Amino acid sequence: MPTFEYCALEYLNLWTSYDKRFVENFTGGKQKMLEIIPEVATVYRVHRNFPLRYDVLNNRERYEPIVDKLAAINIAKIDENNFIKTVIQTRQNIGQEYGGLGVLSATTKFLWMLVRDPIIIYDNNAMTALGRHNYPVDEGNYGQYVQQWQQLYAEKEEEVNEACQGLHGVRLYARHANEIDEQYIQQISAETWFRKRVFDMYLWIVGAE
């Protein structure tokens, strides 16, 4: 299994290569979201979930129905008590725009770019990894997925925190080391959302093994 030190560096690389830019554009208004969402869908491998006949071939911009649904969300009201409900409702809203297809994983990934914490990304590899740690999840059950994810995270949180606290010390091994300094790494790696994504990276790697 991967170490959390490895996972922390891998997520730092993902953040500097993609997620930082994705988040900036998702929170920059509808037009910027429209411009960046095709790349988000490709990088996170969910583009095939959204057939062209429901947007481009229907005289709309690519992924515009998704952006419309996301733009209508009052993100200031999303918190630990209601984010599961928000995810489920948003999935239903987006799915209806695309022929009733199952879009749970994609919905959580888009919402994370818009909100970050407390959204927890639903991913098949992560679900497999949870099962391997004796936290099984019924496919498509987001509430159960979140519960199991949180329980395992609580077990691993101390290890995640230690790995993140030491991340600045391996800056020179980062993919974009010339663009970031140790202070920046210390700042973002102390964020709750960053540490949860380090845990996501761990689950993705374990689930893919």
pLDDT of residue 198: 98
pLDDT number for residue 101: 85
Say how many domains are in the chain: 1
Residue 67 near residue 111, CB atoms below 8 Å: no
Place of tokens 């020179």: 172
Give the pLDDT score at 179.
94
- What's the pLDDT score for residue 65? 98
Question: DSSP character for 174?
Answer: S
**Could you tell me the two tokens for 79?**
């918190």
Q: 128: left (phi > 0), else alpha (psi -120 to 50), else beta?
A: alpha
Q: What is the pTM of this model?
A: 0.96
Q: What residues have CB less than 8 Å from 105, skipping those under 6 apart?
A: 46, 121, 122, 123, 124
User: What is the chain's pLDDT, residue by residue, as a tens digit (209 residues)?
Assistant: 899 999 999 999 999 999 999 999 999 999 999 999 999 999 999 999 999 999 999 999 999 999 999 999 999 999 999 999 999 999 999 999 999 888 999 999 999 999 999 999 999 999 999 999 999 999 999 999 999 999 999 999 999 999 999 999 999 999 999 999 999 999 999 999 999 999 999 999 999 99
DSSP assignment of 10-35 equals HHHHHIIIIIHHHHHHHTS-HHHHHH
DSSP single-letter state for residue 106: H
User: What is the full DSSP assignment across 89-102?
Assistant: HHHHHHHHHTTT--
Is the CB of residue 195 less than 8 Å from the CB of residue 120?
no
CA distance 60 to 80: 34
Domain span at residue 110 reads 4-208
Q: Give kind and range of the element (H or E) at residue 30.
A: helix 30-43
